[in-house]
Amino acid sequence: MKFSRFAGLSVLSLLFAAFLAAAAPDRAVFDVRSFGAKGDGATLDTRAINDAIAAAAESGGTVVFPAGRYLSHSIRLKSHVGLQLEHGAVIVAADPPKDGGPGYDAAEPNPTPEYQDFGHSHWHNSLIWGENLEDVSITGPGQIYGRGLSRGTGRVALPVNVTAEQPKGAAADVLRADGNASPVDRPDLKPGPFGYPNARDTLQDGVGNKAIALKNCRNVVFRDFTILHGGHFGILATGVDNFTLDNLVIDTNRDGMDIDACSNVRVSNCSVNSPWDDGICLKASYGLNRNRATENVTITNCFVSGYDEGTLLDGTRQRRTTHKGGPIGRIKLGTEANGGFRNIAVSNCVFEYCRGLALEQVDGGVMEDIAVTNLAMRDIVNAPVFVRLGARLRGPEGTPMGSARRILLSNIVAYNVAPDHGVFISGVPGHPIEDLTLSGIRLYFRGGGTAEQAARAVPEMEKGYPEPDLFGVLPSWGVFARHAANLVLRDVQLHLLASDARPAVSMDDVAGVELVDVRVERTAAQPFWRMNGVTDVLAVRAAGVPDAGAAK
């Protein structure tokens, strides 16, 4: 076979081009050390990091952090730029300057700060922030360490897993982890009808309070990194669409991640430990100065807990921190809920040593088409399931009453649940929670309730903060439901680990109840059920209720 000299030249040309491509630097990769970052944990690398990001933004590219500790104040994300934290790379939040000089970027103005706290109302005062961006990513496997961040009171939070002594008998309050910090001197603050803005959680310019904050962004990917000690929020994303959070580990001193007024969000394979606040939290606040729903969200294959801060990351999973109401660390919808929640699916998640699932609509929006399935819970410190429709209505004057409907909770098992609250379902008079189904439920409670507790009248608190602990001990140990319509309990088993003098189930003002294959343990003389104002009951193989019987 003849070998054409022209074919040979073509092959040589291709090989030479491949050699040049391999030898040439990748112009889409920007090493922060090339821009002057030291990564020695002592030098402030803020300017070098932001210079690298600005250079990458000119054509799009990835800013790389090799192994090292990069001390920084505010890092400003840009469109079409990714941050890549390599093995051993840690971005460390520097302390704000003591003299009030330049530090973290100042909190930007917000025309409606009266409907949510300071943390939810601002984004620029963060370690890493971006606004009005597209095509942004942060990837690991490195770490973001919020060492110098505030968690909502004071200039800097106490160190990892160090908390102030908690006042005896005080109400549950996540801010008390740092003690009673002195309020900032801001005589110009004029709190609105809901108490915001207030001096208690307003921070001075130069102080940062979030590890990562995004506002009005789209096409964002966070993957494969860890956050330690993230301040008020490990991640606060408000008005972010097409957002993927995958394989993150967050071990923090307040909220893990808050997904606020966002659409098309995928949270998967994440582990969040947050003893002092919520782990994975969906919100729909008025922070964007308008109502915007959080919708089309999936949360799957995730783990939430309330161990001592830092002990999820180091593998010891310790349980020494105690405070009123117990560790938080849960998955929750709410409390801020002005824009409402639609099309939310939670599946295959594990809760341990924390509070239970909370679905809360108290600020006038809708909460509808919610599907939760395959939850495994253990050592739960309050209600394993809390569904609340309330009338706090923290929004502009004239905010209407909200709604909660079409909610499906299935295949949930919880073991060693604290005795104060069982499944807790509560609307308000005239505004029931509608079309709620619980199926495939297996719950094991510690028991210990008394006859006095069985006689308690539970306050309505329709305008109050929606937290089970604030309602006091419930008069039933398994299920408490009131102001509901079309409530279904199917294939539900309620078990006790010790005796309890309260009835298993208490229902009040419920129109339309379907009870199918409901098994309830009895360990005392109390009846299985207590029903008041319950109409249109269909019962099939429900312990203590005749088939097809009617209860009044």
Q: Are residues 344 and 422 in the same domain?
A: no
pTM of the predicted model over 0.85:
yes
Instruction: State which of 338, 355, 372 marks the end of a domain.
Output: 355
428 within domain boundaries? yes
Grade residue 411 by pLDDT with cuts at 50, 70 and 90.
very high
Calculate what percentage of the chain has a pLDDT beyond 70: 90
Q: Are residues 378 and 274 in the same domain?
A: no
2 within domain boundaries? no
Give yes or no for a contact between 496 and 519, defined as CB atoms under 8 angstroms apart. Answer: no
Pick the more confident residue, 274 or 322.
274
Total number of domains in the chain: 2
Residue 187's pLDDT is: 73
Read off the pLDDT of each residue in 399-425 and give the average, rounded to a whole number. 97
Instruction: State which of 334, 355, 376 marks the end of a domain.
Output: 355
150 within domain boundaries? yes
Q: Are residues 436 and 542 in the same domain?
A: yes
> CB neighbours (10 Å) of residue 231?
31
Give the side-chain half-sphere CA count within 13 A for 373.
Answer: 10
Q: How many residues does the chain have?
A: 552
Q: Given a cut of 90, is residue 533 above it in pLDDT?
A: yes
SS (H, E, C) 245-293: EECCEEECCCEEEEEECCEEEEEECCEEECCCCCCEEEECCCCCCCCCC
27 within domain boundaries? no
15 within domain boundaries? no
Q: Are residues 270 and 187 in the same domain?
A: yes
> CB neighbours (10 Å) of residue 208?
31
pLDDT in tens, 455-507: 999 999 999 999 999 999 999 999 999 999 999 999 999 999 999 999 999 99
Integer Cα distance of 355 and 408 in angstroms: 20
Name the nearest CA neighbour of 361 among 272, 279, 432.
432
Q: Are residues 64 and 50 in the same domain?
A: yes
Q: Are residues 195 and 250 in the same domain?
A: yes
Q: Are residues 113 and 84 in the same domain?
A: yes
Q: Given a cut of 70, is residue 27 above it in pLDDT?
A: no
Q: Are residues 297 and 399 in the same domain?
A: no
Integer Cα distance of 365 and 338 in angstroms: 5
Amino acid, res. 38:
K
110 within domain boundaries? yes
DSSP-derived letter for residue 428 is B
- Check which CATH number belongs to the domain holding 226 and give it: 2.160.20.10
Residue 514's pLDDT is: 97
Instruction: Name, in order, each residue with C-beta under 8 angstroms of 37's C-beta and a sequence gap of 6 or more.
Output: 45, 48, 49, 52, 65, 68, 70
Q: Are residues 60 and 111 in the same domain?
A: yes
471 within domain boundaries? yes
pLDDT averaged over every residue in the chain: 91
26 within domain boundaries? no
Q: Are residues 387 and 348 in the same domain?
A: no
Helix (H, G, I), strand (E, B) or coil at 119: helix
Q: Are residues 360 and 346 in the same domain?
A: no
Residue 16's pLDDT is: 40
Give the side-chain half-sphere CA count within 13 A for 536.
Answer: 10
Q: Given a cut of 50, is residue 409 above it in pLDDT?
A: yes
Integer Cα distance of 386 and 372 in angstroms: 13
pLDDT in tens, 149-201: 999 888 999 999 888 776 666 655 566 677 655 566 677 788 899 989 988 88
Instruction: State which of 355, 386, 413 marks the end of a domain.
Output: 355
Q: Are residues 364 and 347 in the same domain?
A: no
Concatenating the DSSP letter of every residue in 45-57 gives -HHHHHHHHHHHH
Grade residue 531 by pLDDT with cuts at 50, 70 and 90.
very high
Residue 9's pLDDT is: 41
* Domain containing residue 93: 32-355
